[in-house]
Amino acid sequence: MKLLTTIALGAALIAAAASARADITVGVTLSATGPAASLGIPEKNTIALMPTTIGGQKVNYIVLDDKSDTTAAVANTRKLITEDKADVIIGSTVSPNSLAMIDVVSEAKVPMISMAASASIVEPVDDKRRWVFKTPQNDIMMSIAIVQHMANAGVKKVAFIGFADAYGEGWYTQFSKIAALKGIEIVANERYNRTDTSVTGQVLKIVAAKPDAVLIAASGTPAVLPQKTLKERGYAGKYYQTHGVANNDFLRVGGKDVDGTFLPSGPVLVATQLPASNPVRKSALEYIGKYEAAHGKGSVSTFGGHAWDAGVLLQAAIPVALKTAQPGTPRSAPGDASSSRRGSALPDFDVADRPPRPRPACPRDGADRQRQLEVHPLNQRRLKGPRRQFVQLRPALLKSDTNTWHQPGAMLWPPLCVASEATA
């Protein structure tokens, strides 16, 4: 599979602050506290692992906590640009915060790399979004993986419950399109807030609709609430979550209530199983090695990977920018200048899912996107019989039990990874 990340970030980074200084300042706002803390904490930890020198220039990182709050994210962005003279912004963790930051960065003509997933952060590309990039996969890509698995599993009716914000709405928009193409009927469509402590009303409607499966479009530990409530109400159908829950905190908080959950994810969680020829393996293993050395074995999550990929983009873009200007020169809009980067920690998608001008040929489908990767189970102790191999497409589809991620003992398409309770 050819992984090509083509972005217009290099030209945007030619610009810097008004003061004539040599250092590059990277302003970061993320959600280290609040409902999205389980996503923001590994991102914050990852920023500390980023290089302090790029292209021969010293890089300073200023990290602020927006507390999972949209207003705070905007205030942080303004401070980083006006007071700290940031040359580039990384953030935020969640889609609502990132969307709110677009006006600020576009007005100041400062490039921004979001670590949130909603496609609306970068699409459509207009005068404002031309300054904005992102690292997570788009909703449509992950929706395709989920719907394909639903169809293969015989799901005919599905219920949807998601965040009452851009993340939930974006997911419903994309998921409903793909579900319709596969003939899957959406029999319930519910919303809840990230800070809600009860979703009983929504769950009663879902149970009454008698779906074969439920998709929960949420992120972090708040995604556990609907599933736990459904379990309490005796719902026994299939459970699906989004790539917004692919971390150990979701498993820890959910416990046995999230056993058997299916979710899509980039292969950073199974990076050690990728073949040596995979362009992502080297960067992913470098990230895993550094992160686990600092925070312990098994501590890596996809969300830290989003931050790592932002660093990968900076390492590709800054040297391009420095060929024509130094920090302290006037900003110019991102245009034809671009940089290509292989080997992000979260592969199998355009890391900055933002079409450059002009966009080179980079098909999302076709034979070049279907090179097979042989993947072995991570936790052999729960598997019976011979060691099996699996075929992995983009993205991988995971299944959770409790505690650890591994792949089940069956040939599946897309593949499944299972988080299973570790046994001695």
294 shares its domain with 188: no
Q: Concatenated DSSP letters for 85-142? A: --SEEEE-SSHHHHHHHHHHHHHHT--EEE----GGGT-S--TTGGGEEE-SPPHHHH
* Pair (218, 285) in one structural domain: no
- Distance, in Å, from the CA atom of 390 to the CA atom of 21, rounded to the nearest integer, reads 52
* 97 plus 58 within the same structural domain: yes
Residue 14 maps to which CATH number? 3.40.50.2300
Q: Are residues 293 and 391 in the same domain?
A: no
Same domain, 169 and 20: no
Q: Quick check: is 27 in a domain?
A: yes
Model confidence, pTM: 0.73
Closest CA to 41 of 70, 71, 65: 65
Q: How far apart, in whole angstroms, are the C-alpha atoms of residue 320 and residue 338?
A: 8
Pair (149, 104) in one structural domain:
no
In a domain, 362, yes or no: no
User: Do 132 and 146 fall within a single domain?
Assistant: no
In order along its 424 residues, the chain shows pLDDT tens digits of: 333 333 455 545 544 333 335 689 999 999 999 999 999 999 999 999 999 999 889 999 999 999 999 999 999 999 999 999 999 999 999 999 999 999 999 999 999 999 998 889 998 889 999 999 999 888 888 899 899 999 999 999 999 999 999 899 999 999 999 999 999 999 999 999 999 999 999 999 999 999 999 999 999 999 999 999 999 999 999 999 998 888 888 888 998 898 888 888 877 877 887 788 888 888 889 999 999 999 998 898 889 999 999 999 999 998 988 887 666 554 554 433 333 333 333 332 222 333 333 333 333 333 222 222 222 222 222 223 222 222 233 455 666 554 444 444 332 333 344 343 433 2
Final residue before a domain boundary, out of 341, 362, 391:
341
Q: Give the end of a domain, one of 295, 324, 341.
A: 341
What is the total count of domains within the chain? 2
Q: Do the domain assignments include residue 389?
A: yes
Residue 58, domain extent: 5-137+276-341
* Same-domain check for residues 131 and 198: no
Domain membership of residue 287 (yes or no) is yes
Which structure tokens are listed for 270? 């199974």
| Same-domain pairing of 85 and 185 | no
CA distances from 72 to 119, 129, 195 (A): 22, 21, 16
User: Does a structural domain hold residue 120?
Assistant: yes
In a domain, residue 349? The reply is no
Residues 18 and 90 in one domain: yes
Q: How far is CA 253 from CA 257, 318, 329, in A?
A: 9, 40, 48
Q: Are both 186 and 239 inside the same structural domain?
A: yes
Report the SS3 class of residue 51: coil
Same domain, 151 and 183: yes
CA-CA distance, 224 to 192, in Å (whole number)?
12
Minimal CA–CA distance to 248: which of 291, 299, 196?
A: 299
**212 within some domain:** yes
Within a domain: 290: yes
